[in-house]
Structure 1
Amino acid sequence: MPTPGRGRVPARVRPVLAAVVSVLVVGVLASPGPARAADPPPRLDNPYVDARVYVNPEWAERAAAEPGGEAVAGQPTAVWLDRIARIEGEAGGMGLREHLDAALAQHADLIQLTLYDLPARDCGRRAPPGELSIEDSARYRAEFIDPIVEILAAPRYADLRIVTFVEPNSLPNLVVNTGSRYTATPACDEVQARGTYQQGIGYALARLGAIPNVYAYLDISHHAEVGWPEDSGPLTALLFQAATAAGSTVTNVHGFVANTANYSVLREEYFRADDVINGQPVYQSRWVDWNPFIDEVPYAQHLRELLAGAGFSPEAGVIVDTSRNGWGGPARPTGPVTASDVNTYVDGSRIDRRARVGNWCNQKGAGLGQRPAVEPEPGIDAYVWVKPPGESDGASGSPNTGQPYEPLCDPYYQPPRGSSYGTGAMPDAPPFGEWFPAHFRQLLANAWPPV
């Protein structure tokens, strides 16, 4: 029974939730009662097939309160557990048990959770700030993972498919921000040397893997961070290390998740990486920068093959986050441009309108992407909204304000490389995870397909 005032569905959202028949929905729970210990639910190759997916009423309320937001307020989004206090509920918000109980009340088959609280998370980046230091591995296990597992293992939730997205952007950081790279940081080097992320993720996978109805998906970042061969190979090795650390095995990894909280398009429709303009290959353009991948689905399918070759199950599928990669609106191209310069050709033809392909914070011009869908491409389990649209990526404040500062969330910051492009971040953004109405309204206006 929810605590009074918490976990209730607001009046304005009730009609939205009552009418929800997500594109992922093709059934209801066969039995609301707990599964018998001797008769666990069958393990599914793809948990999204024939599943009614939980709609978070807290996100639905915020979305429905915005002009036009009711059109998408019934879409399922992941529940983010990004600090210990989220497990029991924080500042009047719903805790994990309340979300699970609400899923049962909706007769949902599946709920999506994002686990995001590793020690020295994001290599200690100040925004979004992690709560655990590099010395807090024991706390991560005892105060974060163990309580989550205890709740998820309760018999009343045994018929609920629980999809967990495990620690976004952790292992990719150890590829692109370590060693001799210009982006390397001492914090990332120390995390790598200690094996902090591999041990933490391995422990989480081992505990989650003991629950028959939990499906763990490991984060594989996106094409514009680790699409290059010199990155995807090391990432594959790190993923295998994590999956076999701290008592885990690769059997605890059901699949992988790409583009988490990012903006990379599923497919660029109007140019190819092997196009040649006036004798110059497109892969030499500033935007592509020698990356063999220019969009997300081919990257996800390729990395899936690499991971199968490294020892993961060849049946493991990929989830792609499409919550903010639509790039519709008046700036969306309708075809390739005619140009003799390769950079002009790429910049005029690309659907992804970011100033730089690596920009990730509250991007100007972005729109809602494909609505959640099951098995849209070979090897892809589902398109889902992992990042709840409208929740901020980080505060846009300036340095020396006393608040955590992330340069790539500052609209006026000029990166040392590619400084003429800027960050593409929207101004007046609140801290990470807080509701950002202006961004949600922009995402709605620029949705593709349109709302």
Structure 2
Amino acid sequence: MRLVSGPSRRWRRGLTAVTALALATTGIVVAASQASAAAGCKVTYSVNQWNTGFTGNLTVTNLGDPITSGWNLTWSWSGNQQVTQGWNGEFTQSGTSVTVRNPSWGAALGTGASVTPGFQATYSGTNTAPTAFSLNGTVCTGAVGGTSSPTPGPTTPTPGPTTPGPGTGAKVDNPYVGVAGYVNPEWKAKANAVSGGSRISSNPTAVWIDRIAAIEGTEGSSSNGAMGVRDHLDAALAQGAGYIQFVIYNLPGRDCAALASNGELGPTELPRYKTQYIDPIAAIQADSKYASLRIINIIEIDSLPNLVTNVDGAAGTDMCRTMKANNGYVEGVGYALAKLGPIGNVYNYIDAAHHGWIGWDSNFSPSATLFYQAATASGSTVANVAGFITNTANYSALKEPFLTINSTVNGQSVRQSKWVDWNFYVDELSFAQAFRTELISKGFRSDIGMLIDTSRNGWGGSARPTAASTSTDLNTWVNESRIDKRIHAGNWCNQSGAGLGERPKAAPESGIDAYVWVKPPGESDGSSTEIPNNEGKGFDRMCDPTYTGNARNGNSMSGALSGAPISGAFFPAQLTQLMQNAYPAL
């Protein structure tokens, strides 16, 4: 019982792709005092470094009289470092000299107040830290008064280095409220090319970053799109969007219980995940150019829940056992949160599977415990988690109007039916609300919100029941009453008969931040037959309509559509079906 793979995205301009093999973190504190006894300042400087570039983080504290008419910080490099972008300040560079001036919204700097400018830069050779900084022309030593020379020295790096963000105020409780979502022009064009697609193509959908190459993108045309992360952010600004959604999806040994969504990184490539994937994404999202956007990250679907359900027993796989043993998923998710969470306008939602995956007691609480472990790994804290998302790229019905977990037939609980199979939930809304409560009990903040992916869980059309069954047979009653018409709740690939669900909507229910379309409708879950490709996408029999199943789906037929392309490629026939079966109807 798993979630599906996501589509592939690429980008073609912006930062140079990082080819680092390792991450080096250094830190120094440089301090000096102004000649005036009423002035003084302190600067803390740290670096996250790879072989051709680095990000620099500064904390500048005013120890003297309040500064009211603007501030500027200056320093000089001893090498060939070159700033390429910055945030929380206006950066200029002339030769080796760098100046950071206050942003328009932050001219004042009171006594004891701090600012946190940051930047990305390139270098070659040795990346030596500056030895002195000056605030408004006065050298900083960390004290008020005195003329002592700066005395740089190493500091202990904080575990799980983070990138400062462009935002200056507190984050909003629900990033979906009151603003319009970004409409991906690549998906919009594909949807418009399908008859009737213009009825839905203006809905916001998520952008999937499922490979390192997807960060930068590619020139020219591609079945999976050519735009990169910065391209999409620029397009969102041009649209006047208030939020944009990205799927962070490239863990080593990704989605260990399936083949269609396996990724490019092997189980031991966590360092590469950090330096070549997460670090560049964080640097782009932290660009102050995008400070007006609420950037929403869906963190690593599929993988963490597999460590609960697909390690032991008949459903276990060797890859899942490997990823549990090496802690790669937990450390990878923690690192992503630690890097992305502190950015002032970024909101992270961790994938939380769906009710047909972890709705049993044996999975429900252990999953929440594991998610807390990941959220506090690699230097992260729960403060980096805005919430969780369920049903990502899946088909579980939002609500079952004629079937509840308390329903009985001839004195038999529906939990005894073949469909429910002793699960404690029959739909996604009740599961998401209950799981939120469980997560809070494990240590997550009480203000976390849930998202539910409703892009393909409408189950409408002529097959939609209009009332509860009148049968006296338990299994017949359940099958005739339920909205979700899958053969088995564990079926996940290109499901035949599915429809579009609720349109994207903010704050629809208690504890739910939004209904979202994270899986763009019409993008395939996996190929119906084996299709060779260079994207790491394997052939999974769960996408084969002739497959008779396995232990994870009760040895049931797959229920998949025929003629599907590889995961992430556009599948017009599926979009046509989704529109035909949409609920609410189009």
Normalising by structure 2, we get a TM-score of 0.70
Aligned to 1:125: 258
1:408 aligns with 2:535: no
Q: How does 1:35-74 map to 2 (within 5 A)?
A: 36=105, 40-74=168-202
Query: Matched residue of 2:527: which SS?
Result: coil
Amino acid at match of 1:111: I
* Counterpart contact for 1:322–1:368, Cα < 8 Å: yes
Aligned to 2:421: 289
Shift of 1:91: 5.8
Shift of 1:301: 0.6
Aligned to 2:238: 105
Query: Matched residue of 2:179: which SS?
Result: coil
Aligned to 2:566: 431
Aligned to 2:211: 83
* Counterpart contact for 1:54–1:76, Cα < 8 Å: yes
Aligned to 1:254: 386
Q: How does 1:347-362 map to 2 (within 5 A)?
A: 347-362=479-494
Distance 1:315 1:124 in 2: 32
Distance 2:348 2:105 in 1: 22
Amino acid at match of 1:445: Q
* Counterpart contact for 1:202–1:244, Cα < 8 Å: yes
Shift of 1:170: 1.2
Aligned to 2:412: 280
Normalising by structure 1, we get a TM-score of 0.90
Aligned to 1:162: 295
The count of corresponding residues between Structure 1 and Structure 2 is: 421
Aligned to 2:372: 240
After superposition, the CA RMSD in angstroms is 2.0
* Counterpart contact for 1:141–1:200, Cα < 8 Å: yes
Unaligned runs of 5+ in 2: 1-10, 14-89, 91-102, 107-114, 116-166, 221-225
Aligned to 2:432: 300
Change (3 A) 1:56 1:142: same
Distance 2:240 2:345 in 1: 16
* Counterpart contact for 2:12–2:219, Cα < 8 Å: no
Note the alpha carbon deviations across 1:54-111, whole angstroms, 9 max, x for none: 0000000011111000000100000000111110013631000000000000011100
Aligned to 2:557: 422
Distance 1:107 1:274 in 2: 46
Shift of 1:126: 2.4
1:140 aligns with 2:268: no
* Counterpart contact for 1:265–1:352, Cα < 8 Å: yes
Shift of 1:125: 3.3
1:334 aligns with 2:466: yes
Aligned to 1:22: none
Shift of 1:275: 1.5
Distance 1:378 1:429 in 2: 37
Note the alpha carbon deviations across 1:160-188, whole angstroms, 9 max, x for none: 10000000011111111012x21001110
Aligned to 1:11: none
Change (3 A) 1:90 1:401: closer
* Counterpart contact for 1:166–1:217, Cα < 8 Å: yes
* Counterpart contact for 2:405–2:415, Cα < 8 Å: yes
Unaligned runs of 5+ in 1: 8-32
Note the alpha carbon deviations across 1:381-401, whole angstroms, 9 max, x for none: 000100000000000105999
1:271 aligns with 2:407: no
Shift of 1:6: 7.5
1:209 aligns with 2:337: no
Greater helix proportion: 1
Amino acid at match of 1:319: L
- Any runs of at least 4 consecutive aligned residues in structure 1 with deviations exceeding 2 A, and if so which? 33-39, 398-404, 416-421
Query: Matched residue of 2:461: which SS?
Result: coil
Aligned to 1:116: 249
Amino acid at match of 1:351: I
Aligned to 2:579: 444
Distance 1:420 1:307 in 2: 32
Amino acid at match of 2:417: S
Distance 2:272 2:549 in 1: 35
Aligned to 1:397: 529
Change (3 A) 1:126 1:159: same
1:375 aligns with 2:518: no
* Counterpart contact for 1:178–1:184, Cα < 8 Å: yes
Percent of paired sites with the same residue: 50
Distance 1:199 1:95 in 2: 26
Q: Which has the larger radius of gyration?
A: 2
Distance 1:377 1:158 in 2: 28
Shift of 1:229: 1.0
* Counterpart contact for 2:530–2:538, Cα < 8 Å: no
Greater strand proportion: 2
Distance 1:449 1:407 in 2: 31
Aligned to 2:495: 363
Shift of 1:404: 2.3
Aligned to 2:40: none
Distance 1:123 1:191 in 2: 8
